Structure 1
């Protein structure tokens, strides 16, 4: 049987690679999971009440474009959070989790060629793996731009060769960044939008971690579009991290009317809309900020604990936002394996989140540690990292 070759060069996904690395070794203690970014704080207790109230909706096919209440809740939240005015019919569309939207943005919005050549999609390295798959699926060439300590853990897209920029049709950018926790400021966003205007590509802004931060709310890309083409920027948001509801699968895309029209067209044929009762629940969750403030306070306590436990480590960078630590080590795989065998704490080698370019994988000498476990487990995990990996520091 013949299978498509376009995905044949993809490496194994991060978590199967991690299982292959660790699971044939016995853990050195009670297992603490600090690998996957799956929030474990409580979600609002009233969510299930809203679902039950609208349970009759499970008897109907949900609308692809989303119920009006949900689309309006997106716009209301965008207005409160970023001070922008969006139209519920023209500028937003719900997603079954933002990974669906990040992938389908490539399929719906990336043209088959640019200037008579194969198109290019830019993305950071390390990166959320769906960015690469979206580019490949759309027939584009993925160009990975290093996001290292030297660049403030944000990619310098302006450094890309001009021949590639002339072929660029899209650029994926994550802020707050996964895995490093770095935040793009207003100047960064404006420079990137200006670059996109100059070379005529779209910015796909993955802002799923925007509501988990230390002190200052991260600037959103929509706040930085003065004078730009309204179709230039597409942003993605989610309840998974903001509201500890990864299982609800509620996200949304926001962009210019032409962009959303194209996204809706693809979704009409290939979308999997959120069930209507869950859409009602999502609308209520987007409208509430009290639980978000409480959630953020819990992460503040974990940030403080991480600083106290690991702040002495050379190269330690306290994350500005998000819930990951990006910790420097001599060898990410060796560190993850040693930690597992000695303590039962599971962390992710940074190399699994990046690709080697010109002999360099920018994640090789890092581990990613997720601060999502209950506080007691987080404390034990961070102390294990300190005592095993940084004992001599």
Structure 2
């Protein structure tokens, strides 16, 4: 067995199941409201469903690892329209992937030299795939705490030159999970300069980029920042996105990676052996989804309605802010976040996720401590009901 498997920590939801095993929400007589998992619950777009039906004949052939040329071209066009940049070369700078999760894991296996004693730098709180990818690639994760005084953006300036010198890969989550803040251009400039100086790759996880709450201010993306800073070749940068959140298609397992052509070429080589080609059926649905924005705008409007309704209820009783982009609230708890989560389920039949479960202690601080992540993925009525119960719980447990 690979000894590095022993380094992996339980996934947050496995820890959550154990934590909540002794809660008894049934005794409340209330129906469960589950706001713990970031799994979109809105309807999948009909155009994607119809594309699947129309493409079933495509199951009879092996798909290309590089992806269908039409899909690569559609993704390139979407990137150009969304970020107002010259379209990336669909032949060398774009690869379809089976959801951003598998690609975010696989990129570490591609770029990390396991014999070099390298570091993989991660935001903290973070998506646990970053940590697992680093460990299984033979590197050591290094966590950069979110700064609560700066909208929970990662405090990249706190990282020492010695750490950057050992860094082989930097994961950026933009917009961030869980606080939903967007990294400004000046931070991108700093990271690009550090990547050039210390020779590391930046992997920008942008799966929440299309769930922004101000229609006039779409989040700045990594490729867009690169172009703005004169890095039209996207050197040292690869950007990841997905249809899971944008188009409510988490079960489709479809996304893309785009950026530096040299990195993409090596990534394609890895994926040739990894066995992660996208089927014709998924390709057809993906092509339909990337070429339509109407369902995406409607999706954002639904989330806005939920944030408006829920924050009106929770704002007076909790320290909680409206995010720039994402479907989460990152709320402060009056006592230990794990105990709060247990008590909330036990007394109000509402399930959330402890903030400390998506964070690690770094420099003596766990930035998720005494916070919970609330996923507003359920229907509006359920989110409102959950918010009312949380507010009642807060009133009774100040």
**TM-score normalised to structure 2 length:** 0.94
Structure 1 residues 159 and 358: CA distance shift in structure 2, 3 A: closer
Deviates more, 1:17-26 or 1:204-213: 17-26
Checking the alignment, whether the CA contact within 8 Å between 2:45 and 2:295 is kept in structure 1 is yes
Instruction: Return the offset for 1:75.
Output: 0.3
Deviations 1:68-91 (A, max 9, x none): 111111101001001222111100
> Which stretches of structure 1, 4 residues or longer, exceed 6 Å deviation after superposition?
none
Instruction: Return the offset for 1:340.
Output: 0.4
Checking the alignment, whether the CA contact within 8 Å between 1:69 and 1:280 is kept in structure 2 is no
Q: Does 1:384 align with 2:384?
A: no
Q: Name the CA distance, whole Å, in 2 between partners of 1:360 and 1:265.
A: 39
Q: Does 1:21 align with 2:26?
A: no
Gaps of 5+ in 1: none
Q: 1:227 aligns to what SS in structure 2?
A: coil
Q: Name the CA distance, whole Å, in 1 between partners of 2:20 and 2:12.
A: 12
Q: 2:10 aligns to what SS in structure 1?
A: coil
Checking the alignment, whether the CA contact within 8 Å between 1:92 and 1:253 is kept in structure 2 is yes
Deviations 1:211-250 (A, max 9, x none): 0011110001111112346321110010000000000111
Paired positions, count: 388
Checking the alignment, whether the CA contact within 8 Å between 2:167 and 2:198 is kept in structure 1 is yes
Deviations 1:281-304 (A, max 9, x none): 101100000000000000110111
Deviates more, 1:330-339 or 1:354-363: 354-363
Checking the alignment, whether the CA contact within 8 Å between 1:30 and 1:343 is kept in structure 2 is no
RMSD: 1.5
* Counterpart for residue 285 of structure 2: 281
Structure 1 residues 154 and 196: CA distance shift in structure 2, 3 A: same
Structure 1 residues 9 and 150: CA distance shift in structure 2, 3 A: farther
**TM-score normalised to structure 1 length:** 0.95
Q: Name the CA distance, whole Å, in 2 between partners of 1:164 and 1:98.
A: 27
Structure 1 residues 44 and 246: CA distance shift in structure 2, 3 A: same
* Counterpart for residue 10 of structure 2: 12
Checking the alignment, whether the CA contact within 8 Å between 1:90 and 1:261 is kept in structure 2 is yes
* Counterpart for residue 315 of structure 1: 319
* Counterpart for residue 160 of structure 1: 159
Deviations 1:266-319 (A, max 9, x none): 110013222211101101100000000000000110111122112224532221
Gaps of 5+ in 2: none
Checking the alignment, whether the CA contact within 8 Å between 2:35 and 2:350 is kept in structure 1 is yes
Q: Does 1:360 align with 2:365?
A: yes
Q: 2:342 aligns to what SS in structure 1?
A: helix
* Bigger helix fraction: 2
Instruction: Return the offset for 1:392.
Output: 6.4
